[in-house]
Amino acid sequence: MARIIVMGAGVGGMPAAYDLKKSLGKQHEVVLIGTSEHFQFTPSNPWVTVGWRKPDQVLVPIRPNVERKGIRFIAQPVSRIEADQNTVHLADGESLEYDYLVIATGPKLAFDEIPGLGPEANTHSVCTTPHAEAAGEAYEKFLKNPGPIVIGAVQGASCFGPAYEFAMIVDTDLRKRKLRDRVPMTFVTSEPYIGHMGLGGVGDSKGLLEAELRQRHIKWITNAKVLEAGADSVKVAEHDDKGEPVKEHDVPSKFTMFIPPFKGVDAVAGVEGLCNPRGFVLIDEYQRNPTYPNIYSAGVCVAIPPVEATPVPTGAPKTGYMIESMVTAIVHNIEDDLAGRKPTHRATWNAICLADLGDDGVAFVALPQIPPRNVTWAKQGKWVHLAKIAFEKYFMRKMRTGSTEPVYEKYVLKALGILRLKTGEHTEAEESA
C-alpha cells in the first residue's frame, strides 16, 4: 500500500485528494494536510469584503466531507519536509512518511517585503477569507466616513485578476449605496499597462479594462512600485518602460487593498533542490520535481517563469482552470507510476478566467498561456457575472460532495438561461461560453 500525502487543502489540494482517492481506491492511503478545518473558496473573497457574501457562505468543513470518502485529514501546518527521507514533520511534532507527496499549498503572502503592507499593518487583503472578513469590518467603518481608496497589485504579485475585480466590485457597491461621488479611486499596479494581467495581455484586455476604468472614473498608475503603505496614503514610485524611476509621490487613501508579493511557504522553500529562489516548486512536464520525482506540485506554489520581462517585476498567474489541469495530470501520473508505467500526462497550461466586475464581467481565454497563442480573446457581458456565480455554486458543491463529475456546464447553462429571459443577450453569451 502506498501513502500519498497532499499538502494544502485549497482549490488544488482538496480536489487532488478527492481525485486521488477515487482513482487509487482503498488499497492506497490518501492523507490531506491543511492549516484550517475549513476549505475557503478564494474567488468569492471580494464579495465577502463588501458584504455580498457572509464568510460562512464561502467556507466548507473539510474533515467530515473528506473522511466520508476515506481520506485522512490533518488540520495543522507542516513545519518541515525531509525530502531525502520521504518524511513530513507537523507542527505538533508528529512525523509522517510518504511514498508520494503532492504540494498544493498556495503561496506565502509576503507582506513583509513592503513597509506598511498587510492586514497587520495599513492595507487590506482578499487573499484569504479571514483577511476578506477583516477587510469587510474596516470597509463598514469606512462607509460611515468615506474618502479616497487605493486598490491594486504590488511588485512581485502574480495574481492581478482579483485586484481588478475588487476595484470594480467596490465601485459597484458604492454606486448602489449612493456614495460613489464621495470616493476618489486609484488603481495602482506593477503591470506595464492596464490589462497586462501577468500574461502579456489577452485579446484586447488593455482597451477593454482601460475603458472600464475610465467609465467608472477610476484613475490608474502602471509600472508602479509601492514603496510604503501608510495609514492615510500610499507612497508610489512610477517607472518608465526601461524600469527607471521617473516620479515618486503619495496617493491619499482611507481604505487600501493590495495583492501582495507571492513566495513559497517556508516548509517547502527550505528544501534544497525543490524550489527556485522565491520558494516556488520546480516541476517537469509531468508536474514532478526533477530532484525528487516522487514529489508533485500544482497551483500557485508551482514555479512558472514570467511570460515576459516587465519594467517592474510581475509574476505569471495560475488560474483555476490551469490548476485543475495540473491536478488531473498528477493523479494520472501517480496512478501510472504505481502500475509501473511511465508518466505521460501533462497539464494543458491554458488560462481561462472569469472576472467579475460587480454588475458585469469579463472572460479571458489564452490558449496557451504563453504567447504566441492559438486562441486569445476577451469577452465582456453580464453573462460572465452570472457564470462566475454558477462556478461558485459548482465548486462549493464539489468540495462538499467530493464529486468529480463535470457539472459546471449545467450551472453555466442555467445562469445563461436566466440571462436569456432577463436581458435577451443569450446568443452572444452562449457562443462565448
Task: Mark whether 353 is an active-site residue.
Answer: yes
Write a three-state SS string for 146-198. Answer: CCCEEEEECCCCCCCHHHHHHHHHHHHHHHHCCCHHHCCEEEEECCCCCCCCC
Q: What's the mean per-residue pLDDT of the chain?
A: 92
71 band by pLDDT with thresholds 50, 70 and 90: very high
pLDDT of residue 412: 42
Catalytic residue among 127, 275, 301, 353: 353
Q: Report the pLDDT averaged over residues 256-281.
A: 97
Catalytic residue among 127, 159, 275, 301: 159
pLDDT of residue 404: 64
pLDDT of residue 410: 45
Specify the domain boundaries for CATH 3.50.50.60 within the chain.
111-261
> Contacts by 367-373 with C-beta closer than 8 Å and gap 24+?
369/199, 369/307, 369/316, 369/322, 370/307, 371/200, 371/307
Are the CB atoms for 356 and 390 separated by under 8 Å?
Answer: no
Neighbours of 261 (CB within 10 A): 25
Question: Higher model confidence: residue 426 or residue 19?
Answer: 19
Among residues 118, 146, 131, 134, the alpha carbon closest in space to that of 254 is found at 146
CB burial string 105-125: b at 16+ within 10 A, e below: bbbbbbbeebebbbbeebbbb
For the chain, the 3-state helix, strand and coil shares in percent, each to the nearest 5, are 35, 25, 40
Are the CB atoms for 159 and 317 separated by under 8 Å?
Answer: yes
418, pLDDT greater than 80: no
Specify the domain boundaries for CATH 3.50.50.100 within the chain.
3-109+262-338
Q: Report the pLDDT averaged over residues 210-232.
A: 98
Task: Mark whether 275 is an active-site residue.
Answer: no
Instruction: Out of 196-200, 350-354, 405-409, pick the least confident.
Output: 405-409
- Retrieve residue 176's grid coordinates: 448602489
Are the CB atoms for 279 and 263 separated by under 8 Å?
Answer: yes
In CATH, what number does 3-109+262-338 get? 3.50.50.100
161, pLDDT greater than 50: yes
pLDDT tens string 26-37: 999 999 999 999
**Alpha carbons 157 and 191: distance in angstroms, whole number:** 10
Neighbours of 85 (CB within 10 A): 11
- Residue 92's Cβ-count burial label (10 Å; 0-12, 13-18, 19+) is exposed
pLDDT tens string 236-253: 999 999 999 999 999 999
DSSP β-bridge partners for residue 7: 33, 103
pLDDT of residue 405: 57
Opening angle at CA 154, ends 152 and 157, nearest 5: 105
Stretch (H or E) spanning 233: strand 233-239
**Alpha carbons 241 and 163: distance in angstroms, whole number:** 22
pLDDT tens string 87-127: 999 999 999 999 999 999 999 999 999 999 999 999 999 99
pLDDT tens string 375-414: 888 889 999 999 899 889 989 999 999 986 544 444 444 5
Task: Output the CA torsion sign for 179, 181, 183, 187.
Answer: positive
Pairing of strands 29-34, 72-75: parallel
Task: Output the CA torsion sign for 134, 301, 352, 9.
Answer: negative
Neighbours of 210 (CB within 10 A): 15
Q: Report the pLDDT averaged over residues 177-196.
A: 98
Among residues 235, 233, 231, 219, the alpha carbon closest in space to that of 171 is found at 219
Residue that the C-alpha cell 467579475 belongs to: 356
pLDDT of residue 319: 82
330, pLDDT greater than 90: yes
pLDDT of residue 415: 45
Are the CB atoms for 232 and 254 separated by under 8 Å?
Answer: yes
Is the bond preceding 148 in cis, omega lying within 30 degrees of 0?
no
CATH class of 111-261: alpha beta
pLDDT tens string 119-157: 999 999 999 999 999 999 999 999 999 999 999 999 999
SS3 state of residue 221: strand
Instruction: Out of 180-184, 196-200, 208-212, 363-367, pick the least confident.
Output: 363-367
**Alpha carbons 415 and 354: distance in angstroms, whole number:** 14
Among residues 414, 286, 299, the alpha carbon closest in space to that of 345 is found at 286
- Retrieve residue 259's grid coordinates: 495583492
426, pLDDT greater than 60: no
321 band by pLDDT with thresholds 50, 70 and 90: confident
Task: Output the CA torsion sign for 203, 300, 331, 23.
Answer: negative
Are the CB atoms for 212 and 185 separated by under 8 Å?
Answer: no
Are the CB atoms for 18 and 69 separated by under 8 Å?
Answer: yes
pLDDT of residue 16: 97
264, pLDDT greater than 70: yes
pLDDT of residue 105: 98
What's at 89, amino acid-wise? Answer: H
pLDDT of residue 347: 92
